Structure 1
Amino acid sequence: MVIKGISVYLRAIKDEDMESIYMSCQEEEFLYMTGTRKSFTLDEIIKSYKQFSKDPTRYDFAICLVDTNEIIGDLSILDIDQDNKKAGFRISLHSRKTLNKGYGTEATQLAQKFTFEELKLNRLELEVFSHNIRGIKAYEKAGFKKEGTLRQSLYMNNKYSDEIIMGILLEDYQEV
């Protein structure tokens, strides 16, 4: 399955994507943005994605550039709850050189298209830490709305950060 946009497209994760995912997990800034303390080995990442591929409540996608087919990130629609017509969302770009180019926003919009038009869900939700200003702006640009705050939910790098709950509904998506 391929979900094509203007600059990026989403496709299923492949074995050859593991190295890019692994390298992104070594970036100190990216770990901080997601509140991740653990470092992962390549073997752990491979094992995790093999398990993910068997999970019927999630879809994992590689984010690739249309022009070069290069993988630049990954995203997941996870914890799919068909009874309540909702799912969670996470995204990660793999390199600083791809930041601030609109790729993350476009990939997020493609994930929304899949969520609302293919999966027929009503809600997509995520959590983001207050120190991740770039992420918050990208989510808002893609139509997510702030819905709640878990105050001082993360203590990392000698400071507290709030955890912000954001969501987009089918009706919000249809308006954008």
Structure 2
Amino acid sequence: MLSGEKVTLRPVTDYDLERFLEFSTDVEVELAGGGEPPGPKTLEQIRTLFTGEKDGLGNSKVNFSIVADGECIGNCGLFEINEVNRTCELGILIGDRGYWGKGYGRDAVRLLLDYAFRLRNFRRVWLEVHSLNERAIRCYKACGFVEEGRLREHAWLAGRYVDHVVMGVLRSEWEGTPPQP
């Protein structure tokens, strides 16, 4: 559906859900994401998470599978979509560790930003990342995100509390034009 230099973003398939379940059992992958503590998940829980048009709170979302070399290597999407403010949260997971640190995540984030700004007409895209995920922070900065704030000791991660870094990019920054007053 959306093709970049290294990856394609396409709709989630049943096969992808099985891959997502595999990724969720890799503790290192789960810790990199920094969300809930790693724990067992079922295929049905994964299906519910990725196939609905709304999250459990009724917020709109859109999910993609990230494909490289003919294989599903992760997922990404837009969440917390606010139609009034024209904002959304970006999320991404490269679940196949063989693709970490090689520009696949950066390519996927750039495609997702193009989708958000050019095709969906969003004004601002934001995200949260835990402060220990330096690889992700470098990726987001390379894609135009700036740090907007920090939630100190916000998440419990592998035996300690860590900060969550809030980052965002405005359409004007993405386009390289001055922001509107």
* TM-score (norm: length of structure 1): 0.92
**Residue type of the partner of 2:33?**
T
The CA RMSD measured in Å over matched residues stands at: 1.8
Paired residues of 2:59 and 2:80 also in contact (CA < 8 A) = no
Between 49-58 and 151-160, report the one with greater CA deviation. 49-58
Matched residues in 1 for 2:54 and 2:18: separation?
17
1:50 CA drift (Å): 3.1
Matched residues in 2 for 1:159 and 1:56: separation?
30
Deviation by residue 1:50-89 (Cα, 9 ceiling, x = unmatched):
3347977211001111xx3211110011111110010011
Residue in structure 2 matched with residue 144 of structure 1 by the alignment? 145
Residue in structure 2 matched with residue 82 of structure 1 by the alignment? 83
Residue in structure 1 matched with residue 32 of structure 2 by the alignment? 33
**Residue type of the partner of 2:109?**
T
Structure 1 segments of 4 or more deviating over 3 A? 52-56
Gaps of 5+ in 2: none
Matched residues in 2 for 1:160 and 1:172: separation?
32
Residue identity over aligned pairs, in percent, reads 28
**Residue type of the partner of 1:4?**
S
Residue in structure 2 matched with residue 160 of structure 1 by the alignment? 161
Gaps of 5+ in 1: none
Q: After superposition, where does 1:75-114 map in structure 2 within 5 Å?
A: 75-114=76-115
Match of 2:65 among 62, 65, 75: 62
The 1:56–1:12 alpha-carbon spacing in structure 2 relative to 1, beyond 3 Å, is farther
Q: After superposition, where does 1:40-59 map in structure 2 within 5 Å?
A: 40-52=41-53, 57-59=60-62
Residue in structure 2 matched with residue 121 of structure 1 by the alignment? 122
Matched residues in 2 for 1:39 and 1:136: separation?
27
Between 166-175 and 154-163, report the one with greater CA deviation. 154-163
* TM-score (norm: length of structure 2): 0.89
**Residue type of the partner of 2:60?**
T
Residue in structure 1 matched with residue 4 of structure 2 by the alignment? 5
Aligned partner of residue 30 in structure 1, secondary structure: helix
1:7 CA drift (Å): 1.2
Deviation by residue 1:108-156 (Cα, 9 ceiling, x = unmatched):
0000000000100100000000011111111111111000001111122
